[in-house]
Structure 1
Amino acid sequence: MTAPALYVCVRPQQNAAEAEYESFRQAMRLEPDRLDRIDLVREPLPPDAGERWRAFVVGGSPFNVSDPESTKTDVQKRLEADLERIAGWAASAGAHVSAFFTCYGIGIVTRLLGGEVTRAYPEDTGPVTVSLTAEGRRDPLFGGLAERFTGLTAHKEGTGRLPAGAVLLATSQTCPVQAYRVGDRLWATQFHPEPTAKAFTERMAVYRDDGYFASDDFEAISGRVLAASVTEPVRSLRAFARRVLVDQPPAA
């Protein structure tokens, strides 16, 4: 039997990918047999993925959607096309699958659906204050969260213009689009909703020399992350799991 949900990895660094899977699984409170995984860096999305899984959670990546196409590797181009397939399924009218895209993934959704991905709104590695919009306070995933909460970010690009029909759910002072919803089955966040503060610092160690922050600042930034309370973002993933997986029959 196929698990009802699939974690989609788009990280070349396997140790970071393993830890990210565990962060998603624990945040969603799913046993391993309820959350499959696939590594799109090393294998393509199966053609029948839309029939095999009814929910997808997409992790982050050091890739950038806004990189010039001429600089992207064949692997990046292929996995972006696969992610667009998932986003398209969840955004379509009468969709039968749901998806939650995070960080790098929000750029995939934004570009696919006609919004703007820009380098104008990067955020430093570490905690930021995220504020819910009026629509966010009514959203089935975000409505149960505090109106202002701390999220963890590290990104070089962001959404400059929402796709047509998208509903803005959350924003921050430095990045105007922190989360949005399309229809009733597709969510995307700029911040990372899945890691604990400790897990985030472990991920920081993997990307210490990748330009997200000065490597000499690692200890200071780690201290700020570990001092932050990040209890709210995981609740959106927990709500996603309840909404799309609980009280539904298992996939055949």
Structure 2
Amino acid sequence: MRVGPESLARHDLVREALPADAFERYSGFVVGGSPFNVTDPASSKSEAQLRLESDLEKIAAAAADSRTAALFTCYGIGVVTRLLGGEVTREHPEPTGATTIELTADGRADALLGDLALRFAALTAHKEGAAAVPPGAVLLATNDGCPVQAYRVGERLYATQFHPESTPRAFTERMAVYRDGGYFPAKDYDVIAARVLRASVTEPPRLLEAFAERFAA
């Protein structure tokens, strides 16, 4: 199932608060990255970041309670992990580009990830990740560099460290925005971008299709 543009709403939570009627207005949420890190010192967090984290926690809590469906990616997995009482750490960063993801036994049996290849390439770029699967979550995907790549809570809350929502071209455009953000040496942008554009990332978008198939009203 493909959800057309007319059925999608894009909301920039960095700039605008979560609408009060969000859970009545939307049947589900896909949360992308952000310019922030969960592990940023509390004293350095702006009002916008604190509000954003609070809004994301509301979405995650609602999905964990089966009041909505949500798929959190990258920065979002940190917010969910912390909400669940897990630890977010900078011990498992991954360089910008494609990495290999492997499904766990639970991942192979999962309603959304189960139809993906056992091993597949996905795009990542992050400074932080979950130290371990948080309480109440089921590990669905892993790799050596960052062991917690995807997990599920209940039946309607999913979180991935990798980016299922981005094409290689869109990823290089995001790289340009964060060129000086410390994710990679700025001088290496062209080399890394060329490597990203050559990457074959056919499986991650199928996760989004499965999410829409299962949860779109």
2:3 corresponding residue in structure 1: 30
The CA deviation string for residues 51-104 of structure 1, in whole angstroms up to 9 with x for no partner, is 221201101012000111111000000010000000000001xx1310000000
Q: Which residue of 2 aligns with 1:116?
A: 87
> Are residues 1:152 and 2:123 paired?
yes
Matched with 1:102 is 73
Is residue 192 of structure 1 aligned with residue 200 of structure 2?
no
Other-structure match for 1:230 = 201
Which of these residues, 59, 67, 77, is aligned with residue 50 of structure 2?
A: 77
The residue aligned with 2:210 is 239
Q: Which runs of 5+ in 2 are unaligned?
A: none
Q: Specify the alignment match of 1:168 in structure 2.
A: 139
- The equivalent residue for 1:18 is none
Amino acid corresponding to residue 68 of structure 2 in structure 1: V
Q: Is the 8 A contact 2:152 2:159 kept in 1?
A: yes
TM-score by length of 1: 0.84
Select the residue among 7, 15, 21 that pairs with 1:48.
Answer: 21
- The match for 2:151 is 180
Structure 2 residue identity aligned to 1:81: S
Residue 36 of structure 1, CA deviation: 0.9
Which of 11, 33, 40 is equivalent to 1:67? 40
Distance 2:143 2:137 in 1: 17
CA distance in 1, matches of 2:86, 2:137: 9
State the aligned residue count: 217
Query: Tell me, what secondary structure is at the counterpart of 1:187?
Result: strand
**Deviation for aligned residue 1:168:** 0.3
Note if contact 1:64-1:157 (Cα within 8 Å) is conserved in structure 2. yes
SS in 2 for 1:203: helix
Matched AA of 1:84? E
- Mapping for residues 194-209 of structure 1, pairs under 5 Å: 194-209=165-180
Query: Whole-Å Cα distance in 2 between the matches of residues 66 and 176 of structure 1?
Result: 18
* Structure 1 gap ranges (5+): 1-27
Aligned to 1:91: 64
Aligned-residue Cα RMSD (Å) equals 1.1
- Looking at structure 1, the residues matched to 169 and 10 of structure 2 have their Cα atoms a distance apart, in angstroms, of 22
Counterpart residue identity of residue 38, structure 2: V
> For residues 157 and 85 of structure 1, what CA distance do their matches in structure 2 show?
21
